[in-house]
Structure 1
Amino acid sequence: MTRRLRFRGESTHKVDTKGRVSIPASFRRVLEAGDPNWTEGLSPELVIVYGDHRRKYLECYTIEAIEEVDDKIARLPRGSVERKMLERLFNGQSTPTAVDDTGRIVLPAKLREKIGIDKEAFFIASGDTFQIWKPETYEVEEAAKTEEWLDELPDDFDPLIFLDQVKEA
C-alpha cells in the first residue's frame, strides 16, 4: 500500500477583494504530492467541489483524490440515478483550479457567495481533502457538533478506540 500524504491542521487566512486566498504551506505540499503532473516550478492543481445548496463549505480534492472518486462513480451503472447524481455533485458542481506561484488560489465570486466568505476563510484538514469555511459558520456548525459529541462521552474516553473497529483490507 502506497503511503499518501494527508492534510493536517487548521488555519484562518485573509481573502482579498478578488477572491485570492493563501493555501496553508503544509497543504500545498500535499497538493503537489497528489498531482501526478506536478513537478518543481509548476503549479499544483486541485478540484474544489461546492455541491448543492445544503453544503456550507468548499471541499478541496487533490487530483489523485478526485480521480479516486471519479473511478468509483464510473463503476456505477451508466444511467443509474446514483451515478447521475454523483456526477452532478462531483463533476458538475465543482471547479478545477491551481495554486499560483505565491501559494494562493482564487475563489470565484459564485463560491464565495455560496458559503458567505467575505474577508476571511477558515481551512481545516480532512484526510485526503481539506475544507474551506466561513469562520463563523464553522464555529456554529462543526465545532459545536464536535463539542456535543465529545460531551456525550465519558471524560476518560479515548476516541482512538474507534480505530480498533476498522476491518483490515
Structure 2
Amino acid sequence: MFRGVNSLHLDAKGRLAIPTRYREALTRHCNGQMVITVDRDHCLLLYPLPDWEEIERKLVKLPSFNKHARRLQRLLMGHATECELDSAGRILIPPPLREFAGLNREVVMIGQGNKFEIWNEEAWNTQRAQWLAEQGEDGELPADLESLSL
C-alpha cells in the first residue's frame, strides 16, 4: 500500500529517486518493474507492473466503438511506458511524459494505494487548494462513500 506525499527533485536527465521507504516493497512486489502513463488531471500515474497489467486487461476489454472507452484506451495505454528502478533507486521519466505533466525540477509524488501520482509541485499545490476550497460546495457524497467515516 503506497501512501503519503513526497516532495522530490528530478535530475537533469529526468530521473526521479523513489523514496527509500517504497523501494523494498516495489522490489518485492514487482522486482522494480513499473509502468508510467498519463492521467486526465495532467499528472503521471506510476504503477507496479503487475497492477498495471490488471488495468491493461480491463482496458483492452472495453468496447472499441464507445468513444469514451477509446479515448481512455488511447490516453492510458497509448502513453504507457515501462520503467524500472536502477541501482540507485531511480526511474527515468521519458521527455514526452515530463512535458505532458509539466514536470521540471520540483515534483510531488503521492501514494494512492496501488499506484503513485507524480505532479509538478506548483500544479499540485494549486489543484490541492482548489479541491479544498470546493470541499463544502457540492454537499452530498456519492452513495458508495456515505458510510466512510473520517
TM-score per shorter chain, which class? 0.7 to 0.9
Quote the residue 2:65 is aligned against.
80
How far off its partner does 1:94 sit? 1.5
Note the residue ranges of structure 1 that are not aligned, 5 or more in a row. 1-5, 39-43, 154-161
Tell me the amino acid that sits aligned with residue 164 of structure 1: S
SS in 1 for 2:53: helix
Look at both structures and tell me which one has the larger radius of gyration over its CA atoms.
Answer: 1
Q: Structure 2: how far apart are the matches of 1:152 and 1:33?
A: 42
Alpha-carbon RMSD across the aligned residues, in angstroms, is 2.6
How far off its partner does 1:163 sit? 6.5
| TM-score between the two structures when normalised by the length of structure 1 | 0.72
Note the residue ranges of structure 2 that are not aligned, 5 or more in a row. 139-144
| TM-score between the two structures when normalised by the length of structure 2 | 0.80
Quote the residue 2:36 is aligned against.
48
After TM superposition, which residue ranges in structure 1, 4 or more long, deviate above 6 angstroms?
none
Q: Deviations 1:43-81 (Å, cap 9, x if unpaired)?
A: x11110125xx531101111122112122123334x433
Aligned length: 143
SS in 2 for 1:164: coil
1:12 corresponds to which of 2, 7, 21: 7
1:74·1:83 contact (CA, 8 Å) conserved in 2?
no
Q: Structure 1: how far apart are the matches of 2:46 and 2:117?
A: 6
1:138 corresponds to which of 116, 124, 131: 124
Greater strand proportion = 2
Quote the residue 1:29 is aligned against.
24
Give identity over the alignment, percent.
31
